[in-house]
Amino acid sequence: MQNPQAELNYFIHKSACVETNKIGSNTRISAFVVIEADVQIGSDVIIHPHVTIESGVTIGDSVEIFPGAYLGKEPKGAGAMARKPEFDRIVSIGDNCSIGPNSVIYYDVKIGKNTLIGDNASIREKVIVGEFCIISRGVTINYNTQIGDRTKIMDLTHITGNCEIGNDVFISVLVATTNDRAIGKLEYNEDRVRGPKIEDNVAIGAGANILPGVRIGMGSIVAAAAVVSKDIPAGKMVAGNPARVIKSVNEVE
């Protein structure tokens, strides 16, 4: 008797629970994986053990998903959140992405091709991550945030909700961004609670603190440990607490 999986040209470990048949060729699904119905998986995909993929997730070709990752987590406030989560039950993972161990990708997230999601990263609902990006280990990206192409966000940085980040941005380790100048003392209001807008080609040093609603102009540099409390013009370098312009970027050696 011929093996049905040989005809389909993909491998599913006998301990995996897979409820979809929308699986491309040369894809391998390892032990103890759970994949719900209405999931689409491309060709040449590798899914390592103990991955959970909920309904509505689409995975492109040549994606690798490492152990313990969870794709399609439903946002729930548990009655404690001031903001009611709103989301569509979809996730899109582009071709050639790598999804690190124990990373959590909520519903309503789109990740562009050739993007690396590092170990233990968490990406909330209504987030778009561009192509050829790095979201490194332990990075948290909150709701309704857009990140452009070729942007790199390093270990243990937090990107707040309602934030905008452009193309070719570099954000170093342990950077904090926030979106509420009332520090939670007022009721949630979408018009008031806004994260920073970080324009193209910005570089932000380790441990910087970017306060709500500020705009960091194109090509600017934020020095390590700076506290950015007001807008930064394009092409300037700032440092200190509070951050002040110290020179133009074209003067930096």
- Cα 217 from Cα 172, distance rounded (Å): 17
Structure tokens at 126: 């209504």
pLDDT digits (tens, 9 = 90+) for 173-220: 999 999 999 999 998 998 999 999 999 999 999 999 999 999 999 999
The three-point CA angle 233-236-237 to 5° equals 130
With 90 as the cut, is the pLDDT of residue 57 above it? yes
Convert the pLDDT of each residue in 107-150 to its tens digit: 999 999 999 999 999 999 999 999 999 999 999 999 999 999 99
Token pair belonging to 223 = 């020095």
Go through the domains of the chain in sequence order and give each one's CATH number: 11-74+88-125 (2.160.10.10), 142-182+193-247 (2.160.10.10)
Strand stretches in 70-172, DSSP E? 70-73, 91-93, 98-99, 104-106, 109-111, 116-117, 122-123, 127-129, 134-135, 140-141, 146-147, 152-153, 158-159, 164-165, 170-171
- Whether 153 and 135 have beta carbons less than 8 Å apart is answered as yes
CA dist., res. 65 & res. 194, Å (int): 32
229-252: per-residue pLDDT in tens? 999 999 999 999 999 999 999 875
Beta bridge partners of residue 206, listed in sequence order = none
Q: What is this structure's pTM? A: 0.94
Beta strands at 17-18 and 28-29: parallel, antiparallel or unpaired: unpaired
Please indicate whether residue 178 or residue 76 has the higher confidence score (pLDDT). 178
